[in-house]
Amino acid sequence: MRLDHKYILEMIEPNSHVLDLGCGDGELLSLLMKQKCCRAAGIEIDEKEIYKCVEKGVSVSHGDIDSGLTDYSDKRFDYVILNESLQEVLNPEKVIAEALRVGKKAIVGIPNFCNLSARLQIFFFGKVPVTEGLPYKWYNTPNLRFLSIKDFRDFCAERSITIERECAFAVKGKVAFAHNLLSDTSIFLISKPAVK
Amino acid sequence: MPDRQFVETQFFTFAQAPHELVLKSGVKLGPVTLAYETYGTLNADKSNAILIFHALTGDAHAAFWHKDAKTPGWWDPMIGPGKAFDTDKYFIICANVIGGCKGSTGPSSINPATGKPYGLSFPVITIEDMVVSQKCLIDHLGIKKLLAAAGGSMGGLMALEWSVRYPGTLQSAILIATNYKHTAQQIALHEVARQAIMSDPHWNKGDYYGKELPAQGMSVSRMIGHITYMSERSMEEKFGRKLQDKEKVGYDFSQDFEVESYLRYRGASFVQRFDANTYLYLSKALDYFDLSEDTDLVAAFKGMKTKFLIVTFTSDWLYPSYQSKDIVKAMKANDVDVSFIEIATKYGHDSFLVEIDGQSKLVTHFLTNVAKDVSHAS
Give the residue from B10, B34, B11, B17 showing the smallest Cα distance to B129: B34
Does A54 reach chain B within 8 Å, measured CB to CB?
Answer: yes
pLDDT at B323: 97
Task: Answer whether residue B53 shows pLDDT above 60.
Answer: yes
- Cis peptide leading into residue B31 (ω within 30°): yes
Determine phi and psi for B187, rounding to 5 degrees.
-65, -40
Confidence of residue B362 (pLDDT cuts 50, 70, 90): very high
* β pairing state of A77-83 and A173-174: unpaired
Classify A194 as helix, strand or coil. coil
pLDDT exceeding 70 applies to what percent of chain B?
99
Residues of B in contact with A75 (CB under 8 A): none
The per-residue pLDDT for range B23-37, each reduced to its tens digit, is 999 999 999 999 999
Residue ranges of domains in chain B: 10-181+291-377, 187-284
The per-residue pLDDT for range B69-94, each reduced to its tens digit, is 999 999 999 999 999 999 999 999 99
Give the residue from A99, A98, A79, A67 showing the smallest Cα distance to A38: A79
Burial class, A13, CB count within 10 angstroms (exposed 0-12 / middle 13-18 / buried 19+): exposed
State chain A's mean pLDDT as an integer: 93
HEC profile for chain B?
Answer: CCCCCECCCEEEEECCCCCCEECCCCCEECCEEEEEEEECCCCCCCCCEEEEECCCCCCCCCCCECCCCCCCCCCCCCEECCCCEECCCCEEEEECCCCCCCCCCCCCCEECCCCEECHHHCCCCCHHHHHHHHHHHHHHCCCCCECEEEEECHHHHHHHHHHHHCHHHECEEEEECCCCECCHHHHHHHHHHHHHHHCCHHHHHHCCCCCCCCHHHHHHHHHHHHHHHCCHHHHHHHCCCCECCCCCCCCCCCCCEHHHHHHHHHHHHHHHHCCHHHHHHHHHHHHHCECCCCCCHHHHCCCCCCEEEEEEECCCCCCCHHHHHHHHHHHHCCCCCEEEEEECCCCHHHHHHHCCHHHHHHHHHHHHHHHHHHHHHC
Neighbours of B72 (CB within 10 A): 20
In angstroms, the CA B175 to CA B295 distance is 21
Residues of A in contact with B343 (CB under 8 A): 47
Does B344 reach chain A within 8 Å, measured CB to CB?
Answer: yes
Task: Answer whether residue B2 shows pLDDT above 80.
Answer: no
Q: Which residue of A has its CA nearest to B313?
A: A47
pLDDT at B131: 98
Residue ranges of domains in chain A: 3-191
State chain B's mean pLDDT as an integer: 96
Confidence of residue B259 (pLDDT cuts 50, 70, 90): very high
pLDDT at A57: 97
Residues of B in contact with A61 (CB under 8 A): 328, 332, 338-340
The CATH number of A3-191 is 3.40.50.150
Specify the higher pLDDT residue, A70 or B185. B185
Query: What is the total residue count of chain B?
Result: 378
Residues of B in contact with A60 (CB under 8 A): 339-341
Q: What does the DSSP 8-state code read for residue A164?
A: E
Across the interface, of B307, B341, B365, the residue whose CB is closest to A62 is B341
For the segment A145-163, the average pLDDT, to the nearest whole number, is 95
The per-residue pLDDT for range B328-352, each reduced to its tens digit, is 999 999 999 999 999 999 999 999 9
Across the interface, of B333, B337, B362, the residue whose CB is closest to A73 is B333
For the segment A69-79, the average pLDDT, to the nearest whole number, is 92
Give the residue from B89, B88, B62, B90 showing the smallest Cα distance to B77: B62
- Inter-residue contact A194 to A104 (CB < 8 Å): no
pLDDT at A195: 66
Sign of the CA dihedral running A171, A176, A182, A186: positive
Which CATH code, of 3.20.20.370, 1.10.10.10, 3.40.50.1820, 3.40.30.10, is assigned to B10-181+291-377?
3.40.50.1820
Does B84 reach chain A within 8 Å, measured CB to CB?
Answer: no
For the segment A119-139, the average pLDDT, to the nearest whole number, is 88
pLDDT at A69: 86
The per-residue pLDDT for range B103-151, each reduced to its tens digit, is 999 999 999 999 999 999 999 999 999 999 999 999 999 999 999 999 9
Does B173 reach chain A within 8 Å, measured CB to CB?
Answer: no
For the segment B14-22, the average pLDDT, to the nearest whole number, is 96
For the segment B295-320, the average pLDDT, to the nearest whole number, is 96
Classify A5 as helix, strand or coil. helix
- Cis peptide leading into residue B123 (ω within 30°): no
pLDDT exceeding 70 applies to what percent of chain A?
99
For the segment B169-176, the average pLDDT, to the nearest whole number, is 98
CA distances from A24 to A50, A58, A145, B13 (A): 8, 11, 19, 50
Interface touch B341/A54, C-beta < 8 Å: yes
Q: What value, to the nearest 5°, has the Cα angle with vertex B26 and ends B22 and B28?
A: 40
Residues of B in contact with A76 (CB under 8 A): 335
- Inter-residue contact B132 to B124 (CB < 8 Å): no
Q: Which residues of B are catalytic?
A: 153, 316, 349
Task: Answer whether residue A130 shows pLDDT above 60.
Answer: yes
Chain centre distance of CA B24: 19
In angstroms, the CA B36 to CA A57 distance is 31
The CATH number of B187-284 is 1.10.1740.110
pLDDT at A70: 85
Does B343 reach chain A within 8 Å, measured CB to CB?
Answer: yes
The amino acid at B277: N
Interface test with B, best of A51, A72, A77, A80 (most B CBs within 10 A): A51
Interface touch A57/B372, C-beta < 8 Å: yes
Q: What value, to the nearest 5°, has the Cα angle with vertex B148 and ends B360 and B359?
A: 15
Does B369 reach chain A within 8 Å, measured CB to CB?
Answer: yes
Classify A109 as helix, strand or coil. strand
pLDDT at A133: 72
Task: Answer whether residue A196 shows pLDDT above 60.
Answer: no
Does A71 reach chain B within 8 Å, measured CB to CB?
Answer: yes
